[in-house]
Chain A
């Protein structure tokens, strides 16, 4: 029912905009990863030397491995916190459901930076947690390993991504028709087997979406390490940031970025396949 002119009019501007301001920049990033820098000048000779460097220099592999470990920990922790919360809200919270739901949403709107900063004030050696421990005489010396460690990064990112993980899980739990649960119980399944045989499989798409989200966003984070990570908490995106800043080796930075992008897209692709397998509609 829409004329050709209408369709052209609505599709041309966003197509042009996206091509110019998204496709072209991402393309530039890709192109840079094949160039090199000599004496502080960008040289446009196409080669794979940056990727070679990534594969041969063990520093990058080490940091990338640590980054994956941190991202996986964040994913696991947010699932462990987010799933039971979503399950409780969806199935057992009764009349307070809507209120509790909104309570989960509110922190989503609170600045990432502000929340990270709050953790810094809590975990520091002069921080609130140490003050608390000493006030109640749990310790007499400040505990210094809390801040500036991979642990602090995982804690902060888990805090930030738990509500993000909660949302898709809650949505998929809410979509489960309640008669299915009753049918399972009617057929003699205990609450536990109802959960593992009916509810968990049917909430898989939400669980996968939340898990991917937490993993992917943690993978590319460079602010949490700067805020609370210290040198032992450095992640791959921090290296990119240094290469673009102080070191001024954009091509190598671009090559790492492209690697992060490829890992991310692969994961998203796999999740999409898995989600399709787990959706029964």
Chain B
């Protein structure tokens, strides 16, 4: 396939003031993003004008950080609930896809299927659901659970949940069997009371990268969002996941793999580096360590010497694949807790590129053409400035290279992503 015919897919991952943990403190960050709908409308329009495939929203049904002394130094504790946010954006945009995260642990499949189908209708076929299983005990405490479900149980429920939802989207009552669904986890009697999706069914995105997570993605997902620091990690993940599709009767191209990328882009390398340093300087140590702790699912990382190495860690019921990534990075680069915390605080385990538009485009192109990605979920450091920078500097560079569309060709998110319309 030539570079001109195979087009990169791009998501604009919107998150309040920005993906950098200290983004909100940046002089140019819009600090009231979490209570300003007009800010989000503007971001979605910027992404649409740049021909992004979609905007993407994360979600957690609870605070990100239990320690209020830490959370009060970040902007993560408040924001819009994403389904209502994207429903508002649906009628303020006309072409861009709208994908929101929602949990299989704290929803019921009938309600979730119906809500996302409604978003899909409001947007004329541009909706998508990012399936997560929720690994946070903070969320669990908002839903009557005494503890987090074990990883394997969460994925068992998620698999069944996805089956029921995709069945309902295809007009079947309660899942694939067509005659209602009954199991330990769910019972669903009726078909949805809304018309069929304008794109056949909303797009199903998935992010879990553990072994069971990959199997679930291979079985059900249209798009996979992943975190990979190096080309080798990204390539290994890409080949592994595409290799699992045949077992489910699917083609490699039926899934688009879009790793997260956290670029810091400027006119010159020096300016980009300065911009990055400026953000890093704004991270308080306790916030960086707390963020790292939550990724490692251990509450007391702050007890260890901050200039010493990461301690040995017990296996966790949290995000297993992310945890492996953090540990690998710390060993590989021989980083102290402080160094690792700062490093991860900025990009949350995602791939960081600091440079000019040409340098960023080079890196994206290498992974795209090297068979390590079908596209990227772009995670701007702060909003709106860094989304603007990507849209005005990097996108035109990708377009010049024939890697990214100059205009939308279709109407629906499935059209943009080159996905089959489901039967």
Whether A and B are associated in the same complex: the answer reads no
- B contact set with A: CB distance below 8 Å: none
